[in-house]
Amino acid sequence: MDLEEAFQAVGEFGIQQKWMVTVLILLQVYMAFQSMLIVLVGAVPEYHIESSVSPIASEEDLIKHVTFTEDISSIVTEWFLIRHQSYKVSLAGSLFFAGVLVGNVLFGPLSDKIGRKPVFLAGLFFEVLFGYATAFAPSYEVFALSRLLVGMMNGGMALVCFVLTQEYVGKAYWALTGTLTNMTFAVGIALFAVLGYFVRHWRTLATAANSPGVLFLLLSVPLPESPRWLYSQGRIEQAERVLLSLAQRNGRDAALLSLKLASGSAPSQRSAGGVLHLVTHPALRRRTLVLMYVWYACSLVYYGLTLNAGGDTGNRYVTVAMYGLVELPAYPLCIYFINKQWAGRRKTMASFLALAGFSCLFTMLIPVQAGSWFSATSLALLGKLMVSAAFNIVYVYTSELYPTIIRNAGLGVCSMSCRFGGILAPFVPSMKALHHSMPFMVFGLSGISAGGLGLLLPETLSKPIAETLEEMHSPAYQRILEREVHLFEEDLSKHKEIQ
C-alpha cells in the first residue's frame, strides 16, 4: 500500500497523533515568547536629562545626569541605551529576525537531508541554551549576540516543527494542524503580555519566558521521526515501524501494513532532494517564484499594517496582547473556506490577499475621524485580519505544493523571502514624506498583485501529495502539471497582449 492508504489503516489523526501534534502546537507559545521578547525587554521608559549641565561629551557624563521617570526595568535602563545609543534596541530586534532568516535557509535543507527529528531537537536545545544566555548576559554585546543565535534556532526549528505537525497526520488534517499551529502562536503573543505584566524585571522576564522551552524539550524527545520523510528516503522498514507504533497506540489493527514505493521511485533511482531542484525542476521553479512573492507580500502587508494600524498611546501590555488577539478571527475563516471544494486553498488565499489589498487602498479614500466605527483605522485593521488569514493559508498550501523529499527546502526558501518583506516593512511608512497615501498604496498593490499571482498555482485540495520528485511525473501529477503550464502560458499571452 502507499503512504496515504497506510495512514488510513493506522488512523489519520488518532489519539497518539493528537498527543504528538499537541506538544508541537503548544510549543508555539514558547516560540512566540522568544519572538516578542524585545518588545518588553527593550521598552524605553520616559527619562529626563538635567538641562543645567553643560553639553554632555561622554557616555559616563550621560549616565551621571540622566533620570528615568518611569519605573521600568529593561536593557535600556540597565545599559542606558538612549540618545546616540538608542539604535541598539532596534539592532537587537533586527539581529533576532536576521537570525530567523539564516535559520530558515539552513534548517530546511538540513532536515530534508538528515531527518526532521534530529534537526528539530538540536534547534530546540540550543534555543533554550542561548535563551538563558540572553537572560544572564553581562553586557549588551553578549545580549545582542545571544538574540542572533536564538533567532537562528527559532527560525529553523519553527520551520521543522510546522512540517512535523503536517507529516504526522493524514493529509485531510493538514489544514487543521497548520491553522492550530499559527493560531497558538497568536495566543502566545497575548500570553507573553500577561507574563510581562506580572514579571517586570527584564532578566526575570527573559528567564521565565525561556523556561517553558525546557519542558517542551523533554516532551519532544520521545517523538518519532516523520514516517513521510522516512518513506521519501526509501527507508521503508523504519517507516513501517513508526506507523505500526502509531496503529498500536491508536487502537488499530495494522497487521497487514506493508508499504511499497511508487513505481519508478526505488531508492537507487530516487533523486536526492535539495535547493537546486527548486531551480532546475520546471514545475517547482514556477511554484517557487510565485510562492516567494506571495510570502514576501504577506509579510510586508502584515507587519506594515501592524505598524500603521496601532498607535503608541495606552498601556503597552494591552497593546502587545491586542497584537496577537486581533489575528484570532482569521483562523476559523481559514478552516471553513480552504476545505470547501468551491473555494479550496488557491482561491481562498488569493481572495484574502486581494481583500487585504483593497482594504489598504480604500483606507486612502477615508478621512481620519475620531470616534467613528468606520474609519481608516478600522479598514487598516480589517486589512490586517485578511492578510493574517492569507498568511496562515500560505503555510498550509506551500507544504502541500512541495514533495516530501524537498518540502523543508521549499518552505525555507519561501520563508527567507518572507523575512525580507518583514525587514522592509518598517521603512514603508517613511514614504509618507512623498505623499500621505504612499504607504497604503504600496501595501494595497502588493496584496492585490500577490493575490493575482497566487491564482497561477495549482489547487491541492483533495489532490494527491507527492513524496518524491519522481512521483510528480505520475499520470495524476501530469494532469495537474499540464493545467499549471496552461495557466502560466495563458497569463504570459495576456501580458503580451496588454503590452
- Higher-pLDDT residue of 106, 471: 106
- What are the grid coordinates assigned to 13, written together? 489523526
Res. 223: pLDDT tops 80: yes
Q: How confident is the model at residue 131 (pLDDT cuts 50, 70, 90)?
A: very high
pTM here is 0.75
Rounded to the nearest integer, the mean pLDDT of the chain is: 80
> What is the pLDDT, as a whole number, of residue 126?
95
Enclosing H/E stretch for 247: helix 236-250
d(C-alpha 223, C-alpha 219), whole Å: 8
> What is the pLDDT, as a whole number, of residue 56?
52
Res. 226: pLDDT tops 70: yes
- What are the grid coordinates assigned to 452, written together? 493575482
Res. 182: pLDDT tops 50: yes
- Higher-pLDDT residue of 433, 410: 410
Q: How confident is the model at residue 216 (pLDDT cuts 50, 70, 90)?
A: very high
7-21, 229-243, 344-358 — which one is most confidently predicted on average?
344-358
d(C-alpha 23, C-alpha 328), whole Å: 20
Q: Which residues contact 399 (CB under 8 A, 6 or more apart)?
A: 162, 163, 166, 174, 178, 407, 411
Strand partners, 67: 48
What DSSP assignment string belongs to 143-166?
HHHHHHHHHHHHHHHHHHHHHHHH
Strand partners, 68: 47
Res. 309: pLDDT tops 50: no
Domains contained in the chain, CATH given: 1-44+86-269 (1.20.1250.20), 271-499 (1.20.1250.20)
Residue of 45, 85, 43 whose CA lies nearest to 62:
85
- Cβ–Cβ under 8 Å, residues 10 and 246: yes
Give the amino acid at 337.
F
Q: Count Cβ atoms within 10 A of the Cβ of residue 78 and give its class: 0-12 exposed, 13-18 middle, 19 or more buried.
A: middle
Look at the block and give the residue holding cell 554632555.
Answer: 56
Interval 84-118: pLDDT, tens: 777 787 788 778 878 888 887 788 788 888 888 99
User: Helix, strand, coil % (nearest 5) of the chain?
Assistant: 75, 0, 25
In terms of phi and psi (left: phi > 0; alpha: psi -120 to 50; beta: otherwise), the region of 286 is alpha
d(C-alpha 445, C-alpha 430), whole Å: 17
